[in-house]
Amino acid sequence: MIDTIVLTLKTGMYTIFEPDNFSPSTRGLTDPTAGYYRLGGRSNITCKQNPTPNELKRGIYKPRLTVTKRINREGNFEIPLKIEFSIPKLLYGNNFDELTDADFPAVIQKLKTVLNEMGVRMFEHFLVNAPVSSVHYSKNIALTDYTTPYTYLAQLTKLNINKRLDTNRTDFRNEGHSFKYRANSFEIVFYDKIKDLQQAKVSEKRAEEKDNALQLNLFDMLTQRKPLEVLRVEIRLNRRQKINQILKKVGKDVEPTF
């Protein structure tokens, strides 16, 4: 299933009616009376709005929003909006439950509602056809035979697939409970899903996943259900060019949209 996705909407595809919800306020991007922001040495400035730790602990999930003012290749200003979110967390409050294609209309309506609460409005057809700039495919593999994810992770570390996958880095984290092949445009990650929740209880930064505070209430329930372990696999396509390349390999010569 698809878990995390990043949508990038161009100027004119969205309206921000609560600019002060962003930090810094988006007023300085478009309103001359507020005083334009200086773009700085990198010729861009970003305004962000993310879910707070308190919201996540209360079970409130929101996308991460980034508005950027920059100069494009033609030398003109553009102000795209980037929307990053976990689809199952948005719909179900966790990403243990998996989605199907039939959930798409409910996802669109939920996303529209939450964006409106965040002070961003757009027509539904812009959201449905929003360009995708990053996508993470995932699968939760339930282990009910008393094996643990570590058993499989230990075997995966013995494989030498860096040349075959054109990866340039291999990461081990959390005492061997997370294993990652990394390249410039994609990552393949295997990790112990329940251990990752445990790490998030200590520090969100030590976990493989973002926004785990939303689903920490599941930890006690999952650890009491034996035998049950969860090995999670994620394939993270982090650039639009890589998504296009993979789509063409499977016979889909289309532009990636939501």
Please determine, for residue 216, whether its predicted confidence score (pLDDT) is greater than 80: no
Does 152 share its domain with 202? yes
Please determine, for residue 139, whether its predicted confidence score (pLDDT) is greater than 80: yes
Q: Does residue 167 lie in a domain region?
A: yes
Q: What is the pLDDT of residues 220-242, one digit of tens each?
A: 665 666 678 899 999 999 999 99
Which of 130, 155, 179 terminates a domain? The answer is: 130
Cα angle, residue 122 at apex, residues 20 and 62 outer, rounded to 5°: 60
Q: Does residue 256 lie in a domain region?
A: no
Please determine, for residue 173, whether its predicted confidence score (pLDDT) is greater than 70: no
| Residues 122 and 16 sit within 8 Å (Cβ to Cβ) | no
Please determine, for residue 125, whether its predicted confidence score (pLDDT) is greater than 80: yes
Structure tokens at 168: 């340039």
Tell me the pLDDT band of 194, cut-offs 50, 70 and 90.
confident
Does 164 share its domain with 219? yes
pLDDT of residue 224: 63
Q: Does residue 185 lie in a domain region?
A: yes
pLDDT of residue 180: 84
Can you give the length of the chain in residues?
258
Tell me the pLDDT band of 168, cut-offs 50, 70 and 90.
low
The separation between the first and the last C-alpha atoms of the chain, rounded to the nearest angstrom, is 14
**Hey, what long-range contacts does 19-22 have (CB within 8 A, 24 or more apart)?**
19/119, 21/49, 21/118, 21/119, 22/47, 22/48, 22/49, 22/65, 22/67
Global pTM reads 0.89
Give the domain extent around 168: 138-249
The burial class, CB within 10 Å (0-12 / 13-18 / 19+), for 194 is buried
Please determine, for residue 6, whether its predicted confidence score (pLDDT) is greater than 90: yes
Q: Does residue 242 lie in a domain region?
A: yes
Does 216 share its domain with 149? yes
Does 237 share its domain with 152? yes
Q: Does residue 257 lie in a domain region?
A: no
Q: How many domains is the chain partitioned into structurally?
A: 2
Does 60 share its domain with 147? no
Does 223 share its domain with 118? no
pLDDT of residue 32: 76
